[in-house]
Amino acid sequence: MTMTDPITATSPLADLSAAEIAHTRDLVTASALFTTTTRFAYVGLDEPHKNEVLAYQSGSGDMPDRRVRVMLLDLATGHSTDNVLSLTTGELIRSTVLDGSAGQLPVLIEEFDAVGEIVATDQRWLDALAARGIDHADVVCVPLSAGHYGFPEEEGRRILRVLAFRQDYPEDHPWAHPVDGLCAYVDVAAKTVTRLVDASNLPIPAESGNFDDPVVQGAPLTSLKPISITQPEGPSFEVDGDLVTWGNWKFQVGFDSREGLVLRQLSFFDGVEDRSIIYRASIAEMVVPYGDPSPVRFWQNYFDTGEYLFGRFTNSLALGCDCVGEIKYFDAVLADEAGNPQTIANGICMHEEDFGTLWKHSDMFTGSSEVRRSRRLVISFFTTVGNYDYGFYWYLYLDGTIECEAKLTGILFTSSYVEGSPYASEVAPGLGGPYHQHLFSARLDMMVDGVSNAVDEVDAVRLPLGADNPHGGAFSKSVTRLSRESDAGREADSKVGRAWHIVNTERTNRLGRNTGYVLMPQESPTLLADPSSSIAERAAFATKQLWVTRYDPAERYPAGDFVHQNPGGDGLPRYMAADRAVDGEDIVLWHTFGPTHFPRPEDWPVMPTDYAKFTLKPYGFFDRNPALNVPPSETVHECSHGGDAHHHGH
């Protein structure tokens, strides 16, 4: 591997270009790593150490070596390798053979596509369908990640579990007709069914779920008038390649086939300097655990990031449908399973939105009345993973606030409904919506005013009646510094309004306090599975809302690098076992958030969007309100210097 490298990046954190991906393919296919049945399971930038990047950007270091991480799977044998190549030199830096004991490479689309033909050759499968009055040609097969349950015949093999849904005609949405009580376990490399579970012959729901049928939709709602969003002078942001400036914000937009949208090096200009806040932010993992313990569903726990690489399924967004206003689109460039560069046009959308009142006051003493409109910059992408559609939206506000919001829509993963079931809702006649959770892990590589950061856990404190509180109305707060990783797995608590302050231990504001940002969780249940369960071992990140670790560029994923069929204990439990200091260090926050879903009839046949989010707000980062200089709206002169200020004070 010594070909000349056509590096196209001018920044050490720039995404791989199509030319770099093609060159990576050529390096691999010309090497001993490759056979005719080898596929590229993952290709992505192997990001250099933060210290190298910062040194280069400050002018005190060289451009870091441009490296790419390539995971290769031989479809015929299951042979798997994890490799790092230098695009600067063309050399193979590292190659590791995976034996499957610590997890498998992500599931390939080619493997998904193969399962229908594999189960069609198994007579047990055909007989089970015939007993239900249907033929294999009448069903679609849904291949799903297997989890890890200690079945001896699955050790070291690439396994998918397959459920069936009847499809009455080509345009019929099969999710309405689950063939419940039947499941095939498939070795996709050997192309065999290792186990067939035929637990019960449940009625197949008959009612259509075709939400796109005009008859099902009903008469169109005609009373809605058009809303026009215009910016006659164009958008307020500026884009130079992947670098964006908007208001006082500056950051880099990135994309990864595993994590999807990535934001890098977010900073805010305070009038004197650009001040760093976050070095890297992404959705590094998500798990969708289901609560139905039936023999054909107990294993339903999907890691859409680590097992399926949900960035691959990013939608091409359309103006007026997915995004409205003055839009800047970014294409998402990734490698397909043959290693060829693939472009998802308009994969990332960026636009501005009006967001109501930024600040306002009508003063009863001076007669001053001032109001400013808020707006936010929205950077988003949507991905469709099987039945669910997920949108991830990052919002930047004029006052320095950062939010991340997940939007969940699409179609429920359905079952046959058994009357009185404690594990599912009936959403249509005979059709069940099993209870489940969506738990996302945001990886927040913090850099608040630099790399010397710490986390304070802040709780509201009720004070008892006493000498210091004679009338009982006093309350205060407690502040607990997280000192080591062993202390730094934390749970939210709405009873005390728990929040986590990320502070710089070396820099203070004009009041002498450490500058910082506060992470404000939107409390919802963490993983509801029993702590001794397989899924709790594999998705340990989802058992708490916050984890804090010392920065290590190799620690990218909260459930580990190889999630598919991983037995558990990987990712955050392994990272934190080192028990490193996290007070005044270069730290990473891992925040778990997301809804617990007890489906309702209104979620069928297509689910109205549900929301989950968290917020990062400046707390002592600025010396005063950073949005004082936002001008009043030009279109309405009454927005300032007037109005009725005769109000009672509070």
C-alpha dist (Å) from residue 283 to 261, 404, 414, 444, 551: 8, 10, 26, 9, 17
* CA 505/CA 397 separation, integer angstroms: 25
Q: Has 388 been annotated as catalytic?
A: yes
Euclidean distance between the first and the last CA atom of the chain, given in angstroms as a whole number? 72
Q: What is the CA radius of gyration of the chain?
A: 27
Handedness of CA 93, 308, 555, 17 (dihedral sign): positive
DSSP H helical segments within 15-84, as ranges? 18-29, 50-58
Other residues' Cβ atoms within 10 Å of the Cβ of residue 245: 16
3-state secondary structure of 170: coil
The active-site residue, picked from 5, 15, 292, 304, is 304
d(C-alpha 543, C-alpha 537), whole Å: 10
C-alpha to C-alpha distance for 333 and 584, rounded to whole angstroms? 37
Query: Is residue 583 within 8 Å of residue 539, measured between CB atoms?
Result: no
What amino acid is encoded at 597 in this protein? H
Per the DSSP assignment, residues forming a β-bridge with 392 are 381, 406
C-alpha torsion sign, points 145, 151, 156, 158: negative
Choose, from 185, 308, 388, 517, the residue flagged as catalytic. 388
Q: Strand ranges (DSSP E) for 27-177? A: 38-45, 67-74, 80-86, 92-98, 139-145, 159-166
Q: Which of these, 495, 452, 422, lies nearest to 587 by C-alpha position?
A: 452
110 residue type, one letter? E
Phi-psi region of 212 (alpha: psi -120 to 50; beta: other; left: phi over 0): alpha
Burial label, 134 (beta-carbon count in 10 A; 0-12, 13-18, 19+): middle
Name the nearest CA neighbour of 430 among 443, 440, 415, 441.
415
Query: Burial, 468: exposed, middle or buried (Cβ in 10 Å; 0-12, 13-18, 19+)?
Result: exposed
In one-letter notation, the amino acid at residue 222 is T
**Prior bond to 214 cis, omega within 30?**
no
Distance separating alpha carbons of residues 359 and 174, to the nearest angstrom: 50
Say if CB 521 and CB 540 are below 8 A apart. Answer: no
By the 10 Å C-beta count (0-12 exposed, 13-18 middle, 19+ buried), 624 is classed as: exposed
CA angle in degrees (0–180, nearest 5) for 579-585-590: 65
Confirm whether 304 is a catalytic residue. Answer: yes
> Looking at the annotation, which residues are catalytic?
304, 388
